[in-house]
Chains A and B, each alone.
Chain A
Amino acid sequence: MIELKNTTKLYKDVIGVNDICLNLKAGTYGLLGPNGSGKTTLINLILGQLKPTIGSVTLFGVNPWKKSQLLRRVGLCPSVEINYPRATGLEWVTYMVQLHGFRFMQAEKKAKESLDFVGLSHAMNRPMRNYSLGMRQRAKIGQAIAHNPDLLILDEPFNGLDPIGRHEMSSFLKTWASQGKGLILASHILHEVEAINPSFLLISGGRLLASGSPAEVRNILADTPYELTIRTTAPKQLATLLIENCEIQSLKFISNNEILLSTRSASQLFKVIPEVIQQHQISITEIRSTDDSLNTLFSMLMKLHRGELMQGGTS
Chain B
Amino acid sequence: MKTILQNALATCLYEIRSSFTVQRTAVSLVLALFPPTMLGLLILGARFSETGISSSILQDFTSLLTIILIGLVSLLSLILWATPNVSAELEGRSWVFIASRPRGRISIFLGKFLAAFSVSYAICIVSISLCTLLIDSQLRAENAAWFWISLAGIFFLACLVYGGIFSLLGVLFIKRAMTFSVGFVIGSDIIIGSVPGVLMNKFSIRYHLQEIALVWLGWFLPSSSEEAYRTIFGDGYSVTAHICIIIGVTLATLCLGASAIVTREYITVYED
Residues of A within 8 A of B (CB): 11, 16, 35-41, 44, 47, 49-51, 68-72, 74, 76, 78-84, 86-87, 91, 95-96, 98-101, 103-104, 143
Of A37, A68, A98, which one neighbours B105 at CB under 8 angstroms?
Answer: A68
Question: Pick the contact of A47 from B93, B100, B269 — CB < 8 Å?
Answer: B100
Query: Least Cβ distance of A202 to chain B in Å?
Result: 15
Partner of A72, one of B10, B102, B269: B102
Q: Which 9 residue pairs across A and B have the least CB separation, nearest first?
A: A99-B101, A80-B93, A98-B10, A83-B92, A76-B100, A40-B272, A78-B96, A101-B3, A71-B102
Q: Provided the pairs A41-B272, A72-B102, A101-B102 are in contact, do residues A96 and B265 lie with their beta carbons within 8 angstroms? A: no
State how many angstroms separate the Cβ of A141 from the closest Cβ of chain B: 12
Which residues B1-60 have CB closer than 8 A to chain A?
A: 3, 6-7, 10-11, 14, 17-18, 20-21
In the complex, how many angstroms separate the beta carbon of B107 from the nearest chain A beta carbon? 6
The contact string, 1 if C-beta is below 8 Å from chain A, for chain B 246-272, is 000000000000000010011111111
Which residues on B sit within 8 Å (CB–CB) of A79?
A: 270-271
Q: Are A37 and B272 in contact (CB under 8 A)?
A: yes
B binding-site residues for A, Cβ under 8 Å: 3, 6-7, 10-11, 14, 17-18, 20-21, 92-94, 96-105, 107, 262, 265-272
Give the distance to chain A from B34, nearest Cβ to Cβ, in Å. Answer: 26
B3 touches A38 (CB 8 A): no
Cβ–Cβ contact B267 & A11, under 8 A: yes
Could you pull out 6 A-B pairs where Cβ atoms are within 8 angstroms?
A37-B272, A68-B105, A82-B94, A99-B98, A99-B107, A100-B101
The answer to whether A35 touches B271 (Cβ under 8 A) is yes
- In Å, the complex CA distance between A11 and B11 comes to 30
The smallest C-beta distance from A279 to any residue of chain B, in angstroms, reads 50
Q: Is the CB of A35 within 8 A of B98?
A: no
Q: Are B102 and A70 interface neighbours, CB within 8 A?
A: yes
Q: How far is the CB of A105 from chain B (nearest CB, A)?
A: 12
The answer for the CA separation of A293 and B104 in the assembled complex, in Å, is: 39
Give Cα A91 to B15, complex, Å: 12
Which of A16, A49, A87 meets B100, CB within 8 Å? Answer: A49
Complex interface: chain B residues within 8 A of A44 (CB): 268-269
Residue among A79, A95, A96 having the largest count of chain B Cβ atoms under 10 Å: A95
Give the complex CA separation of A298 and B226 in angstroms.
Answer: 79
* Minimum C-beta distance from A236 to chain B (A): 47
B97 A40 Cβ-Cβ under 8 A: no
User: Whole-angstrom distance from the CB of B254 to the nearest CB of chain A?
Assistant: 18
When the two chains form their complex, are residues B272 and A38 in contact, meaning their CB atoms are under 8 A apart? yes
